[in-house]
Chains A and B, each alone.
Chain A
Amino acid sequence: MLPEWYLELSRSSGPAFVSAASNADVAVAAFVAFAIFIVLASILAADWPFDIAFLSLVAGGILVSWSAMIVLTVAAVVLALVVGGLHTLLFPERNARISAEAKARVKPALEEFARDSGMSEAEVKRVLADDDS
């Protein structure tokens, strides 16, 4: 049922933490779960699919070897960039609203941090203005 090249890849990737499965099998399963839930998170604009996507990536990372972990992380980052880009293109208004909400949430903490780190009021305003542009 599975293509021959994948079976060969699966055999050559070595056993995962759960030795019944190979590194490639676990990495593919984790990546598929991540892909499904990151797409769901962007469609529904909800937190829970994002949590599941993140946790599936963490669980996959724990179970596979370090090289498979790096491949899995790079693939997940690329997919997240693609999904994020598509989300911006398809739902620009919602994307702008989410960005504005995120900025409003983080701005007070950033301002406090900048002041505590010894920046003057003018520097704080300049840095946060640069961030807005």
Chain B
Amino acid sequence: MMEQPLEFLETLHRYWNVAATAIDNSAMTVAILVTAAILAAVGGMVGMRMRLYGAIVGGMIMNVVVKAMGGGFAAALAAMAVTTALAFAVGSTPFLLQVLKRARKPARDGP
């Protein structure tokens, strides 16, 4: 019985690796994950339902990018599921504030 969830996680991990290999750019992967979390955080200002919808929209961005890079349907679905889950978990108002502060920092520290 315990093997099935583990097998599922293993499959998810394998397809996530396929998706990451297809994108072949960790900065782009992180950028999409941050974008998805921002969308979830903005949706979260309205309510939990909109936070989930924001996270799903972010996941769909990851899905289209993986497909466009030749990752295949299954890898795109796995990447979307991982992105949606991460964005839903991380995307909150404190996260948005952190992003805002980090975006402002170079401007303040700059010449």
Chain A 38-75 interface residues, beta-carbon cutoff 8 Å to B: 54, 58, 61-63, 65-66, 69-70
SS of A interface (majority): helix
A120 to B64, CA, bound (A): 40
| Complex contact B97–A106 (CB within 8 A) | no
| Complex contact A66–B45 (CB within 8 A) | no
Interface size for A (C-beta < 8 A) is: 19
Distance of A57 from chain B, by nearest CB (Å): 9
A62 to B96, CA, bound (A): 28
Q: Does A6 contact B (CB under 8 A)?
A: no
SS of B interface (majority): helix
Q: List 22 A-B contacts (CB under 8 A).
A: A17-B73, A54-B56, A58-B56, A61-B64, A62-B63, A62-B73, A62-B77, A63-B73, A65-B67, A66-B67, A66-B68, A69-B64, A106-B46, A109-B45, A109-B46, A109-B93, A110-B45, A113-B93, A113-B96, A117-B97, A117-B100, A117-B101
A-binding residues in B (CB < 8 A)? 45-47, 53, 56, 60, 63-64, 67-68, 73, 76-77, 80, 93, 96-97, 100-101
B-binding residues in A (CB < 8 A)? 17, 54, 58, 61-63, 65-66, 69-70, 102, 105-106, 109-110, 112-113, 116-117
